[in-house]
Every structure is written in C-alpha cells, then in structure tokens.
Structure 1
C-alpha cells in the first residue's frame, strides 16, 4: 500500500475525531501494525478521492465516511468493517472499481464495499416486483456476509442524523424507508442503540408535530423522573449490597420517543396516562446474581401481573438476554426494571457486532452463514422463502408481516427451542421441523394435551407432533397456517398427489390445441423432450403435469414446441412435423400472471353461480372431476354445505393488471317504466362509465314495467357499484339487481 500522506489543508476543511487522530499518530510511529495500517490507508484513499466533494449541508463529503467508520468502531466492528466504512461510497461516487479496492485492500474489504454499493442502489418504495427483487438481493448479500448490512446500517444512521438539508419530500421518503426496513433489521440483528435512534429520527421527520410534543413533555418531566429513579437506585443498591450481590452498574434510562408514541397509539392513551416513561437497568456479574437481584426487586416493589419476561432462560433469536419485570414503584407509578450481566448488556447494546468471530488470516469465507449460527435462523428462513414464494406480492406481504413481527417461542419434547411467527399453529410447527413431519401429521399435543390443529401457539408451549404413515395434508390447513413454508409445502403435496390427474389434464389441453394428428408421436419424440427441458421440466410427463395444474401456460408450451421443431426440421428434413394449430379465440390462453393469489400452480375458474368481481371477498373450492379450483364469493349460497376440507383461502391480486384479464362478464336486470327511449338513456349511462355491453334484451308486457337484461364487462366491484348507483338514480328505473350475483 502507498504511504499515508495526509494533506496540509486538512485542518482547514475537516476536524477529525480523536480516535482517528490517535490512529494516524500511531501509524506514523509504528508502521508495522497491520490493523492501523489498513484503517489509515483506507482513510487516506477515501480522503483523496472525495477531495473537493461536498454534501448538501456544504460540509466536506469526507465527513460522512469518517462518521460511518466511527459508528462501526463504536459498534465493535473489525478492521475490515471500519475500512469499508471509509470506502463505502468510493465505487458509486468516483471512478474506482471494486477490483481496484480488492487490489489495494484485499478481498474482504472489497466484498463489504461491493455489498454496500449494491444495497445503496435499491429502492424499497417502488412497485412490488422491483421491491421484492431488492429484498431478495439484500438478504442474499446479508447471507454472504452479515457485516454488509451492519455497514449499511451505520451509513443509514449517519444519513438520518444529517437529513435536515434535504427537501421535505425526500426527508419523508428516506425516513419511511428507514422506519419500515432498516430499523426492524437493526432490531433483528439486536443492535438496539441503532434501532432506537433510527426509529426516533424517522419519527422526527414523519410526524414532526407529535415528535416535538412528546419531546417537550419528556423534557418537562425530566427532573421529577430523575429524582424518582435516583431514590429507587439508592434503595436497591443498599439491599443488593446487603445480600452480597456486586452491582457493576445501576442506571436509569428514559424510554425513546418513538416507543412512547407507539404505546400511546397502541393503548389509545394520552401522554399523561403513560407512567412508565423510564426504566432502570441492573448490571451484575453472573446469571445467578440476576435471579437473586430479581427476588430483591420483587420483595421491595409489588410486581405487576403478566409483565415479567425471562429472556435469559429463553433468549431471543438475535441472542438478546435479560430479565424484564415491571413493578409498582414510588407514588404508585409503574417502573420497568431490566436485569442482566455485563456480557448480556454488551450483546443487547451492540447485537451481532458484539460477537464477531472472524479469523485473522483474511478472506471472507468465515463470515458466511453457517448451519451452526442459531442467531441467524431468521435469515436462513428468509432465504427459504425466496424459493417457496415466487409471487412478488405474496413475498413482500409475508416479509413485512413475519420478518418484523415478534416471534413466539415453543419447545420440542426434547427441549429444543423453535421460533415461529406469531399466530403460528401446530401445523406450522410440524413443517418447521421437517416437510415429511407436516405431510404425515395426524394430530398434535400441546403441553401434554390433544390440541386442535388451528390453535395458535403461545410462548413456552411444548409441542409434540403425532404422525401416521397414511396421513396427508388437508387443503383446509391453508385457511389457518401463517408461515409461507407451511403454505407452500401443502400446495406442493397437493400437486404431487394429483400428478396423474394433472398429466391427463395437461395432455388433453395440449392435444386440443395441437390436434390429434401426430400428437402421440410428437409426445414421444426427441424434440418434445427438448421442449420439456427448455420449459425447465425434467421430462415430458413433468411438463404435461405442469400444464395440467397451471405451472406453465399453454401459450408458453406451444411457442416452445414450434421453436424446437422448426430448429429440428432444419437439422433433419425427415424430422417429425408439428401438427397445424392456431390459437382458439373462444379459449384464450392463460396469462402469465394470475388475477387471483392463492391458487398458484392450480387450475381454477370463476364460478358461474356468483361470478365474483375483484373487490369482493372470495374463497376457493376444490371441485370434483377435472375442473380444478372454483372461485366463489364468500357468501355464495352454493358453498354453504361444502366441506371445510375443500376450501382454499384466495384473494384478488391487487398488482398492476397488465398481463391478465381486466374485465369480467356481469349480468344485470333492470325494471323500468316502459317508455320510448328508456333503453337508449340507460345505455348512454353505461357508456359514460366506459363499460362495454356484450348483450342486451328487453321484455315488455301490457300495463307492466319493462324488463331490460344486460350483459356488461366490468373491471371490479367498485366500477359496478358506481354504474348501479348511476342507473338507480334515473327516474324511470324501478329496480336494478345483479343476476347470479349479489343483489342491490
């Protein structure tokens, strides 16, 4: 590496933090220290590259990477992380490449810089498809080296601290992304001090009025709060010393502003109704002293029922450990007390950064996700979802619902702890243990008693799964499982168990399209095997099954058949000839994207009895024969006597409708006063709502109202409501209702 030559003008442009000044001085006196060498060289390189660049505030740009490196140092980051903090913007903002970084600073630093550079380009507020792809890439980067996201969090934290110079709209966009994505990630990594500050800073820009109001209230009560905390500290210090517990630290801390705000909203209370605005933390030497201290606390102050949590015996997935209890303190005010060891406190403050175990020999293989890293179970589960959930909307929905929610912790009969999403059932538990356990599940015992399968599990439950060789999943399970893995495994089993039926259906669909002439010979031909492989299926039978259950569209298969046979015929003039076929206008091919979520990979159709529209609650029903899933409105009278085992939970796809059916046929019947021109006036109203009429009929009778029957093409329930209301307001209209659907 080049020697560090810090510019003479540095004192005019930049005030360096003490730690960096000390580092530079140490480097000048001892150039053999490789740790200092890497950090100083990275700073020097970044300083030269960013020289002349300024931030929106007008300060030298180098102040930002210096601050990011400082945050990483405070979090306990290693030399590679601190170096990456200095260099994290050089690839994006200068002509330097990742290869240049690797040549100068090694593959470990280059990997971190490249990862952060890619994350910086992600936008989590755009349309669902791109948002889902960005999430997937981010978690893959985290799995490759978890330090990438920690460097990114440090970058985001300093950007949030210096957000004032930006436009209000940009402030809100960045703050919202921080609140929804990066603060929860800091929480999952256990870096509480970063999580709390990100939440408070986001709160400041997203709801400045409430932020200032709570900030003022907290400031007004500060002296009173500190006085009460000091009194409690003295009482506890004396008692704990009396029983021989060595207290390393006994400190009070105010709750962060966003936490107070969230509690006010959650409990629908005003600020003056929230009493536990501060917490007391007791730090001791050993686990045993933690429990002895808890006994003293509960002896002095009355514990509040249901407000005790033992995270020492049952740590969180991010390895957070502590005893939490809320007691009735002085003047009858609740007081939260946390008790932990010094090691637990270090992990609680710094999270994953508190226990880096990277080899000093260089390289980044040691930082990859391993099966033994229980603290990364949640990240491994996210990677599993990437394979399980192909639909972008479902992936993003499940991510936001499950990644950032609290977990529920349950035990296997052997005492192993399993973390599940809140609301998870014994079926979710079974599939978490193993796919075959779920597929052969007969029943479950919870805490030694038989349990219904849809019963949500609670913290501390001991769950035992009873399996039987001939048992199999029920489609009814899809109505209550909450984990994406369980839902996908149940669907996969359904597809496999109906393979012969799906193959027969696929064969029938393809034969109808291509014609019977030469069809059997085509299926057995070499080109057809090539078609299957090009469609990502192992064999022709697999392809037919996929076509049968909707895993691939008819249009995709036919296009591949034509493409392959044309190529094959050029190579071999005697090759089999493709049967003549043309798309049937009466039977349009299935679009690439389904307007209904929940039936991915299954054949389905809209029920003719109720003809549901987007915007109406729907349910899927497994039909007999070869018709697949029938989609009904949830209040359809024809499904009242259907067995619950036949139901499949489904919902309309709210994504951009490009690529799938945009209108649905609806029959309406209108009773009107018979007069000349009434049909014309009604059709004019229909036209004004941009609705197409497929069919119209009129029935009249002597001295009776006329009956007009219309078949119209409707986009969704809202459009139908607007049209119905518009026609109802006509003075000649006596009644209007939807035929074979919901009456109005």
Structure 2
C-alpha cells in the first residue's frame, strides 16, 4: 500500500510546486470516509483509491487528477455527497469525481441496461474533461489486477468482457498503449486462459530455440546504423499474447507465419533522422513488400506517430522495425498522459478536441436509447484502421472494413444522409465498396436522397449505423402515426362519434402516453386497439362489433363483398419493415382478395383472404381490418409473386424457364432449387409482376413450355 508521504513524494518528483496540504487533505478525507470498508481480497478499501492515484503518478498527471483519483469512489461507496466535495475541494474536482461515479439506484431491467446508461453518462463527462477517462482507466486497471479475488465467475467474466470491449479500446483511443496492453492481457487471462497459456508456451519455446538471437539482431541493427553515421537507441519488444492471438484469428495465420512477434524499436533524435534510419535499414536488408507504414506523415487518430517496416533482417529473420523520435515514443506509450509531462495538459483536457469522442457524442444524440448507444459504441471501438483522403487532401481515419457510406458520415452527417454515389480514386464505385489505405474518396450527394435502410447491412461505424437507424425510426413512426390516426378516425366513426384530439388528450394517461401523436403511433404499431381508445374516451358506450374489424369470412361471402365499393387502405410505395407491409407467407398481389391484420410492432400486414396463416389470428377479430387495392394503373408498383415450378432435368431447362418469364414481362428477384432428382428439379421463383393477371399469364406461358412439367402459385 502507498503511504501518505510516498504519494506526496511521487507527485513532488515531477511537480515541485504541488500543494502538499491539498493532497494530504484528500488522502485523509478518503481514509476517513471509506473507514472500515474492505475489498474482496480483505484489504482495507482505501487501498484501492491510493493505488489508482499511484498508477497516475507514473504518468506524471497534475495534482487535480491525482486528487480526483483519491476521491473517485467516495460518492459511490460512502456517505459523502457532491456538495461536500464541492465545499472542501472546489468545483473542478467535484465535477471530475461526479464524471467517474456510476449512476446508483438505476430503475432498469437488466445489468446490460445499467452498463449502457453508465457508459452514456461517462461519455458525456469525459467529453467535458478527458481526465475523467484517464482516472477511470486507472481505476479499471487496478480492479482488473485484483479481479481474481472476486468469487463469482460470471461477474469476473462480465467485468473482463466490458474491459475488452470498452475500456481497452478507449485506452487505445487516447494512445495509452501500455495501459491498453495490460488491460487486454488481464481480460484475456480471465476470458480465455487456455489460449493465453498456449501463446506464452510457444513464445517460451521460441526463446529457448533462438538463444540470444534477439540480442544479436539488436547489435547488428545498431552496428548498421552506426556505420552510416547515425547513433540510435535500439531494443526489442515482444508483442503481447492477446495481440498475437488476435492477429492469428483475424488473418487466419498459424503461429509460425507471424513475422512481427518481436518488434525492434529504433529511437532517434529528429524526424529527419527517422527517415534517414529508414533509408539505411532498407538499403541494408531486403524489404518485405506491403509491410511499410508511414504514421509520421499520416498519424493515427490517437496521435501515434512512427515509421513501421518489415525486412528480412540479420540472420535472415523476418522482423518488424519501428522508427520514431523520443517524444513520439513517449506519446506512443503514454498517449494523452504524455502531454502533462510536456506541460501541455491543460490544452488537451477538453474532450471536444478529439474527433473520435465527437463521433461518440453524435452517436449518443441519434441512438434510440442507452442500449443502442452501447451497441454502436462497441462498433466504433476499432483498432485496425484504414487511412483515406478527401479530394482536398484531408485525412479520414476509418475502421478496417469501412465503406464509402462510412466515409461520408465520417466527413459530415449531412453528407452521409444525402450521399448517392462515390468516386474512389477517380472511378465511380458502389456505396458498399470497401475502402483501402490511401484511397481518395469523393462523395456525390443529392438533396433528394435520404438514408436507405439497406445501408445498415454493410456499414461498420457506429456513427453511420446510428444515423441510419434514427432515420428509419422516424420514418417508421411517421407511418405508424398516419395509420394509427386512420384507425382511430374509423373506430370513432363506427361508434357515431367525431374523432378529436381534445377528447383523446384526456385519456393519454390511461395508455401511458405523453401526446396524441404518441398514442396514434402505438395504435398504428398494434400495441393499442382503436376500440380500446374509444372505450376509454366514452366509457358508457355499449360494446358493439365495429365493422372496421372483421373476422375471417367464407370465400362465398368474400366474393359478394368484393363486388361492393369499400374504402381501402392504400398499399403502395411502402418501405420494408414500416407500418404496412405484405405477408411473406402468401405474397398478395393486386387482384387477390386481401385482409389486413394489425401485428404488434409491425403495423398492418396484408394477407390474401385464404392464407393459412390467418388461422392464428382467428381468436382476435379486433385486429382484422377490411382493406382493398387502390392502384392507379399508370403508377402501379411492382409486387413480388411466388411460383413453384417443376422442370425437366435436361440441358437448357433453366434457360427456358428464365426466358419465358422475361418474355412475358416478369423480373426474377430470387430463385431456389428445393428438390432435385435424376428426372426433375423443383424450383421456387420470386417474380416481380404488376398484378394477379400478370402472374397468371406467366404461369400459362410456363405450362406451355416443353421443359416445364408443372407450374403453380406457391403458398406458405
């Protein structure tokens, strides 16, 4: 345990002007508040904040951060209050402590929800002051060092998973590489101890086989540089077990195929010396193609700068060499914390300086809730990056696997919302194109364009996914509101009442809604029925069957009813998954007798009147809606019809099938062989057609084809 005078001496070693009395008051306050509390390993609880403060002194953090570390658990775990901290230690420290403190007494359903809500609060706090993140990382590091003392294995795995998913990537985001490596290794030990032990065993075997190989390579590299007049510091660094394991998984490599298990670092004085050292090494040893990275001219998003190259080095060993200046080396290991060593801490404390953090705030603004924010945040915590350029030469850092849509949203949210195409290195390419290092990307936009729900299938950044989901969510709500209002107007009319928002406002509390629009959306989504709203507004109304809701009717009655004119719900121009959609079980087409069913969470689903799936809803007649087709022949949209075809197993049979469909104006959207034998193939085909008559004409033409044995409309 760090003693009081030891902590003060550590801080004074790099900040002689530190206020010792202030530090001592924080030390005493922490010990007094935590009192007799104990940790899982039996140590007094106040050992934990002291160790967290000790970790931060290694990074030479300012006194405010050290005091925050001492006090960081007092609000959460003792009877101390925020006002008490503000009175004794000032506004700045009380705000930092509040940022690190978890939300208590959360009325949430799951541990996952609590984690999401706490992360949301944490991101807001560190956007105001990045020192909140630094203290939190040191706190998590000490907790991980003592994780083995927790008795509950599920809790240990949950904490380790959270560390691997969120805190280690956050440490990487601010360049604290050493802390990130230790967090990953501790989490890896808990999550996959067998894999870690296997990697360590292989590393130990290589060391035994190679003897003093590393020392010999270092001497040869140093000698090569010195003979060319460049005095440099050279040493070797072994990669962590987790980074080795991760690379083996990601690139599908065996342990023997890895060429950068050991990285050799060359530390020089100036940037010019970096490039000079690179030239000397490339001149002395064969270069491995595709392995050179210049992070000096194009630094990583976390400020990391270095030259990376792989060569066939001394003794014909494939080695990775990293070349950097002393300052670059400090930033590479300590990241943001290194700036305090150079007396630049105050300048970079504001979290809004960091682009990745601004992107997290954008995700927070557009996410549908805390849990969705947690999902998108994990998506954004990538370590492998690609570097692309705008037409003006600005550098954009993106995760590996990013597409042109991710690039567009990274440049600006509005550009992403309105992108219609992308020129990659001067060539017009699809928006789903994967970007590579060095690509120059120009986004083509249109004011008429809106985000497509299909983009969510291929984007990889949390920011892009959050914006797309937000648009879909707003469009979905708009359609739910329109449908819900139509249902309510119809329900009121059938009871001989006039629908009015004023009347509905009086019963909003009954349905736990805050506005009429919210209630309409709930009705449209199928969570609330129109009859329930009518009964709530007019309790004395006699219950009678609303003609708006219908049971399944026999086909004979359906034929008679179809002859009469009925107002129908328009079923055209739909967005998949929105308030109104067609059932995939029966694929209704204009010309079919149809019925609508209010489906919870989906709005209205359109079925054919003889669809077998309707039996499921036979006991809930209030969910049935009379609908009919209202299609303008000039603007009739295409619909998907499904047919089942049996073709003879002979050359050209499939060609005949597709040709007949095309000649009759059909467009195949999907084709699946469901059964095959020596004589016949059974095939399911989805075809875009105008209406039922169009599909019937195609079926007639198929039945006339010599290669087709049978053709019928598919059901189910």
TM-score, normalised to structure 1, is 0.66
After superposition, residues 591-602 of structure 1 pair within 5 angstroms as 602=579
For the Cα contact (< 8 Å) 2:259–2:318, is it kept in 1? yes
Q: Secondary structure at the match of 1:152?
A: helix
Aligned position for 1:410:
388
After superposition, residues 329-728 of structure 1 pair within 5 angstroms as 329-355=313-339, 367-370=349-352, 373=353, 376-390=354-368, 394-468=372-446, 470=448, 476-483=454-461, 485-487=463-465, 489=467, 505-515=483-493, 522-523=500-501, 554=528, 602-604=579-581, 606-609=583-586
What is the aligned counterpart of 1:150 among 134, 137, 141?
Answer: 134
Measured in 2, the distance between the counterparts of 1:68 and 1:121 equals 25
Aligned position for 1:670:
none
Q: Does 2:190 match 1:218?
A: no
Measured in 2, the distance between the counterparts of 1:241 and 1:125 equals 65
Query: 1:311 and 1:42, CA in 2 relative to 1: closer, same or farther beyond 3 A?
Result: same
* Range moving further from structure 2, 161-170 or 185-194: 161-170
Q: Does 2:185 match 1:207?
A: no
Q: Secondary structure at the match of 1:456?
A: coil
Measured in 1, the distance between the counterparts of 2:482 and 2:302 equals 49
Q: Secondary structure at the match of 1:250?
A: strand
Pairwise CA distance, 1:229? 2.8
Q: Secondary structure at the match of 1:418?
A: strand
Aligned position for 1:704:
none
* Range moving further from structure 2, 221-230 or 407-416: 221-230
Query: 1:33 and 1:387, CA in 2 relative to 1: closer, same or farther beyond 3 A?
Result: closer
Give the aligned length: 590
Q: Secondary structure at the match of 1:410?
A: strand
Q: Does 2:148 match 1:177?
A: no
Measured in 2, the distance between the counterparts of 1:108 and 1:646 equals 65
Aligned position for 2:218:
233
Q: Give per-residue Cα distances to partners, 1:518-569, cap 9 Å, x unaligned.
A: 86672588969999xx9667xx7x779957975x96569976x998x79xxx
Measured in 1, the distance between the counterparts of 2:148 and 2:451 equals 55
Pairwise CA distance, 1:480? 3.5
Q: Give per-residue Cα distances to partners, 1:297-349, cap 9 Å, x unaligned.
A: 22222222222222222222111111112222233332111111222211111
For the Cα contact (< 8 Å) 2:52–2:69, is it kept in 1? yes
Query: 1:197 and 1:610, CA in 2 relative to 1: closer, same or farther beyond 3 A?
Result: farther
Query: 1:368 and 1:166, CA in 2 relative to 1: closer, same or farther beyond 3 A?
Result: same
Measured in 2, the distance between the counterparts of 1:216 and 1:367 equals 42
Pairwise CA distance, 1:481? 3.7
Q: Does 2:715 match 1:740?
A: yes
Measured in 1, the distance between the counterparts of 2:345 and 2:402 equals 43
For the Cα contact (< 8 Å) 1:535–1:557, is it kept in 2? no
Pairwise CA distance, 1:515? 2.5
Q: Does 2:65 match 1:81?
A: yes
Measured in 2, the distance between the counterparts of 1:352 and 1:229 equals 31
Aligned position for 1:719:
none
What is the aligned counterpart of 2:9 among 22, 26, 36?
Answer: 22
For the Cα contact (< 8 Å) 1:228–1:330, is it kept in 2? no
Q: Does 2:123 match 1:161?
A: no
Measured in 2, the distance between the counterparts of 1:497 and 1:173 equals 36
RMSD: 5.1
Query: 1:505 and 1:335, CA in 2 relative to 1: closer, same or farther beyond 3 A?
Result: same
For the Cα contact (< 8 Å) 1:522–1:578, is it kept in 2? no
Query: 1:191 and 1:450, CA in 2 relative to 1: closer, same or farther beyond 3 A?
Result: same
For the Cα contact (< 8 Å) 2:330–2:338, is it kept in 1? yes
For the Cα contact (< 8 Å) 2:10–2:57, is it kept in 1? no
Q: Secondary structure at the match of 1:458?
A: coil
Q: Give per-residue Cα distances to partners, 1:130-185, cap 9 Å, x unaligned.
A: 44333323322322332222212111211222234332614444333322332222
Pairwise CA distance, 1:511? 0.8
Measured in 1, the distance between the counterparts of 2:340 and 2:366 equals 31
Measured in 1, the distance between the counterparts of 2:304 and 2:440 equals 22
Query: 1:225 and 1:86, CA in 2 relative to 1: closer, same or farther beyond 3 A?
Result: farther
Q: Secondary structure at the match of 1:118?
A: coil
For the Cα contact (< 8 Å) 2:523–2:530, is it kept in 1? no
Query: 1:23 and 1:485, CA in 2 relative to 1: closer, same or farther beyond 3 A?
Result: closer
Q: Secondary structure at the match of 2:438?
A: coil
Pairwise CA distance, 1:246? 4.6
Query: 1:428 and 1:544, CA in 2 relative to 1: closer, same or farther beyond 3 A?
Result: farther
Measured in 1, the distance between the counterparts of 2:341 and 2:107 equals 32
What is the aligned counterpart of 2:240 among 256, 263, 281?
Answer: 256
After superposition, residues 37-56 of structure 1 pair within 5 angstroms as 37-56=21-40
Aligned position for 2:177:
192
Query: 1:305 and 1:154, CA in 2 relative to 1: closer, same or farther beyond 3 A?
Result: same
Q: Give per-residue Cα distances to partners, 1:381-435, cap 9 Å, x unaligned.
A: 2222223231666544433333235343321111112233433322333344345
Pairwise CA distance, 1:54? 3.9
* Range moving further from structure 2, 266-275 or 133-142: 266-275
TM-score, normalised to structure 2, is 0.68
Query: 1:378 and 1:583, CA in 2 relative to 1: closer, same or farther beyond 3 A?
Result: farther
Aligned position for 2:297:
313
Pairwise CA distance, 1:239? 3.5
Q: Secondary structure at the match of 1:324?
A: strand
For the Cα contact (< 8 Å) 1:187–1:195, is it kept in 2? yes
For the Cα contact (< 8 Å) 1:476–1:646, is it kept in 2? no
Measured in 2, the distance between the counterparts of 1:153 and 1:91 equals 18
For the Cα contact (< 8 Å) 2:18–2:63, is it kept in 1? no
What is the aligned counterpart of 1:287 among 247, 266, 271?
Answer: 271
For the Cα contact (< 8 Å) 2:522–2:528, is it kept in 1? yes
Pairwise CA distance, 1:357? 11
Measured in 2, the distance between the counterparts of 1:258 and 1:288 equals 34
Q: Secondary structure at the match of 2:236?
A: strand
Q: Give per-residue Cα distances to partners, 1:559-584, cap 9 Å, x unaligned.
A: 6x998x79xxxxxxxxxx99998997
Q: Secondary structure at the match of 2:203?
A: helix
Query: 1:226 and 1:120, CA in 2 relative to 1: closer, same or farther beyond 3 A?
Result: farther
Measured in 1, the distance between the counterparts of 2:158 and 2:518 equals 45
Aligned position for 1:90:
74
For the Cα contact (< 8 Å) 1:125–1:177, is it kept in 2? no
Measured in 1, the distance between the counterparts of 2:317 and 2:345 equals 54
Measured in 2, the distance between the counterparts of 1:85 and 1:304 equals 46
Query: 1:130 and 1:172, CA in 2 relative to 1: closer, same or farther beyond 3 A?
Result: closer
For the Cα contact (< 8 Å) 1:176–1:202, is it kept in 2? yes
Q: Give per-residue Cα distances to partners, 1:251-284, cap 9 Å, x unaligned.
A: 2111112222333444556655545331111122
Query: 1:604 and 1:70, CA in 2 relative to 1: closer, same or farther beyond 3 A?
Result: farther
Query: 1:112 and 1:468, CA in 2 relative to 1: closer, same or farther beyond 3 A?
Result: closer
For the Cα contact (< 8 Å) 2:484–2:521, is it kept in 1? yes
